[in-house]
Amino acid sequence: MPAERLLPTTEAEDLLALVREIARDELAPHAAEAEEHSRFPREAFRLLGKTGLLGLPYPERFGGGEQPYEVYLQALEEVASAWMSVAVGLSVHVMSSYALATFGDDAQKSRWLPDVLAGDQLGGYALSETHAGSDAGALSTRAVRSGDHYTVNGTKAWITHAGVADFYTLMARTSDDGGKGISCFFAPGQAEGLVAAKPERKMGLTGSITAQLSFSGVRLDADRLIGAEGDGLKIALSALDSGRLGIAACGVGLAQAALDEAVAYAKQRTQFGRAIIDFQGLEFLLADMAAAVESARATYLEAARRRDRGLPFRRQAAIAKLVCTDTAMKVTTDAVQVLGGAGYTRDFPVERYMREAKVLQIFEGTNQIQRLVIGRDLRR
Nearest to 319 by CA among 268, 256, 266, 369: 369
Q: List CB contacts of 248: < 8 A, sequence separation 6 or more.
A: 73, 296, 299, 300, 303, 317, 320, 321, 323, 324, 325
DSSP 163: T
Q: Are 101 and 58 in contact (CB under 8 A)?
A: yes
**Residue burial 248-286, b: 16+ Cβ < 10 Å; e: rest:** bbbbbbbbbbbbbbbbebbeebeeeeeebbeeeebeebb
338: left (phi over 0), alpha (psi -120 to 50) or beta: alpha
| Cα–Cα dist 258/264, whole Å | 10
The residue type found at 99 is A
Q: Are 359 and 202 in contact (CB under 8 A)?
A: yes
Give, in order, the Cα–Cα distances in Å from 220 to each of 126, 131, 226. Answer: 15, 24, 12
For residue 151, list its beta bridge partners.
Answer: 144, 219
Nearest to 80 by CA among 240, 202, 257: 257
Nearest to 282 by CA among 296, 294, 297, 270: 270
Give, in order, the Cα–Cα distances in Å from 20 to each of 1, 9, 73, 87. Answer: 12, 17, 13, 13
| Cα–Cα dist 218/200, whole Å | 23
The alpha carbon of 50 is separated from its chain's Cα centroid by a whole number of angstroms, namely 19
- Respond yes or no: is residue 364 known to be catalytic: yes
Of 35, 77, 129, 364, which residue is the catalytic one?
A: 364
| Cα–Cα dist 145/138, whole Å | 20
Q: Are 30 and 21 in contact (CB under 8 A)?
A: no
Catalytic residues: 364
